[in-house]
Structure formats: C-alpha cells, structure tokens
Chain A
C-alpha cells in the first residue's frame, strides 16, 4: 500500500521536474515549482505517519509557509520586470 502511494507521489513530482527542465519560459518554471512544493508539503506530513514522529507536521507547516512566500516574491519580481 505504502509503495503504491509513494510511487504515485514520485511520479507527481517527476513530471513538474521535467517541465522545469524543458520549458524556456520562467513563469512556467515557477508554476511547476509551485506544484512541486504543494506536493512535497503533503508528502512531509505523510512522513510523520511513516516514521511515527509528530515533528514532521511542524516541518510541513513551515515548508508550506516558505514556499508560499517564495512563489509570491518571484511572481512580483516577474511582474515588475518588463
């Protein structure tokens, strides 16, 4: 069961990574990176179940917060740079 779950999550991270490698447009790369960040936030919360350690939930919360700030900052930078 856990193998199926992590295979699906791994494929879900792999395809945005291919998009980051392929696409020449920077907005495209930021979108793919944002998708990867959301997937990884859920995955870190899932790791708290695998390793039986509640500390991973705090790590997931902080990771989600930082990834949100990163997306906003890069978007504003792209918007201002004509």
Chain B
C-alpha cells in the first residue's frame, strides 16, 4: 500500500522534472526560463524525496532534511541569478508588460 503511494509520488515528481526541463528549453527569455525551471523542479524534488522516504521509512529523516535544504536554497539561487542577469543588462523579451525592478515612477 505504502509502496504504491510512494511510487506514484515518485512518478509525479519525475513528470515535473520533465516539465521543468522542457520549460527550460522552450521558454523565450532568461527570466521565464528561471521561473519554469526552478518552480517545477522544486515541486518535483519534494515529491521524489518524500516518495523515497515513504517506501523506505528508515530513510525518511534524511530525505526530509534534503527537502528542507532544497526549499531553502533553490529560491535563493534562482533570485540571485535573476538579479545578476538583470544587472548585467540582459533585456526581458518584447512582450514583457511590467518591469518592477527598474523602478516605476508612477507607483
């Protein structure tokens, strides 16, 4: 019973890994690519690691540690990278509506 639940969680996580990789390939812009890659792979990592912990309960503590670690570090790395790309002068692509980081004088 727990095995079926764990393996379905791992399959869901692998599917989100695939979606993250596909978004990294198909999106038009650095910032869109960062958003697609980071969010999809964060959810995929949570799902895969909790599935591994459910199938082997003796691994559960370490997998929860890795989950907490990924939840802390992955958004930090993504936002630092987006800031670096912006400060380096990479323009968002043409259809971008609002650029909050530049400082809007009407706001």
Interface residues of chain A, those whose CB is within 8 Å of chain B, are: 1, 4-6, 8-9, 11-16, 18-19, 25, 27-28, 30-32, 34-35, 38-39, 41-43, 45-46, 48-49, 54, 57-58, 60-61, 64-65, 68, 71-72, 75-76, 78-79, 81-82
Q: Cβ of B66 and Cβ of A57 under 8 Å apart?
A: yes
| B contacts with A: majority SS | helix
Quick one: given A8-B14, A32-B33, A32-B37, are A27 and B63 in contact (CB under 8 Å)? no
Q: How long is the Cα–Cα vector from A42 to B59 in the complex, in angstroms?
A: 14
Quick one: given A39-B17, A61-B69, are A49 and B44 in contact (CB under 8 Å)? no
Q: How many residues of B contact A (CB 8 A)?
A: 50
| A contacts with B: majority SS | helix
